[in-house]
Amino acid sequence: MANDVNNGRPVVRYAHENAPLYGAGISQGVFVGLRDDGGQWMTSFTRAELEIEIVGPTRDYVASIQQELLSKVSTRVRELQGPAYNDPDSRIRTQVVPLTLAIDHVSASGSQLVIAVASMLAAAMIVGSWGAVRLDALLRGRSARRERKMERTVLMPERTS
């Protein structure tokens, strides 16, 4: 079911089930998966719960994708059950937990942005300083080789026949 909602793509697994999608460095994307309570060597699906996680640039974008995926899940559940869906005693019902519809806005605070910019500037200064030292050493080496070559030329004039 998760693969169907995920447009046939396999479900991506992270080392930790609670790892947020934005924490994986994704700024726009969708994760549809089935909670796996297993470990490294086996999978264990103890609950029939689809987990949908959406990351996007705006709240409206996330809300629209959320509604689209929820309707896609409901439609797919109906399709998979076929005629059994019409019998209330035998059908599998879908239920959306209201708390899970919450949309959180995650962004860096002002102080975090200042620290990030300062860190980038410090890294740029370190790399720039290292590059300047290496360039200076390279140019001094060439200059020294040129001077030695000139000294040899002056000490040993070319013979003319």
User: How confident is the prediction for the chain on average, in pLDDT?
Assistant: 76
pLDDT at site 83: 78
Question: Regarding predicted confidence, which is higher, 48 or 70?
Answer: 70
Does the pLDDT value for residue 157 go beyond 70? no
Q: What is the mean pLDDT of residues 114-124?
A: 93
pTM greater than 0.75: no
Q: What is the DSSP annotation of the chain?
A: -HHHHTTTPPPP--SSTT--TGGGT-SSEEEEEE-----SS-----S--EEEEEE-SSHHHHHHHHHHHHHHHHHHHHHHHGGGGG-TTTPPPP---GGGG--------HHHHHHHHHHHHHHHHHHHHHHHHHHHHHHHHHHHHHHHHHHHHHHSPPP--
